[in-house]
Amino acid sequence: MYDILVYLFENYYTPQACPRAEILASKLAAAGFEHDDIDDALTWLRELAQTTEQYLDLALKPQTSSAPRIYTDEEYRTLGTEAIGFIVFLENSGALPPPMREILIGCAQATNEGPLSLAEIKVLALMVLWSQEAEVDHLIFEELLADDSQRSPH
């Protein structure tokens, strides 16, 4: 599923440029993706749209509070410490405002996996930002695209 999400990001400049689900599924199959992965990705994208709609009211309200987000035990099990740390990093850098953070958390939980790896949460964050057509600082963008397996230990 994650490979498909990266493929969509790389091949469609905006979410509106993506074809309808049926056509997209055909294009993804033609590109060599497995049908189960295509179904998972399309389901996740539907969940992203539903979660975005759910938090639309929150996004329209002015953000005056800087209180930290408290994660539930279930969120810790689903996301894992590494993913939560990365979400906090994105939030502190200004790349992930609270409404988008909530969308990301909701969509991460929709993967029904856990805990998520750093690479997985990066792809999901990238897709949430892409879906909202958010402007992202160049350095944050590079961090989202960084392959952590290629980094040398410090």
Amino acid 28 reads: L
Give the single-character DSSP code of 150.
G
d(CA 93, CA 96): 8
Most confident of 42-46, 54-58, 137-141: 42-46
pLDDT in tens, 45-82: 888 888 888 776 655 555 555 678 899 999 999 899 99
The pLDDT of residue 150 is 46
* Distance of alpha carbon 56 from alpha carbon 54, whole angstroms: 6
Classify burial at 104, counting beta carbons within 10 Å of its beta carbon; exposed 0-12, middle 13-18, buried 19 or more: buried
Return the higher-pLDDT residue of 23 and 135.
23
Burial of residue 98 (number of CB atoms within 10 Å: 0-12, 13-18, 19+): middle
**Domain map of the chain by residue range?**
2-62+71-149
pLDDT in tens, 72-127: 999 999 899 999 999 999 999 888 888 889 999 988 988 877 899 999 999 999 98
Mean pLDDT value of segment 25-43: 94
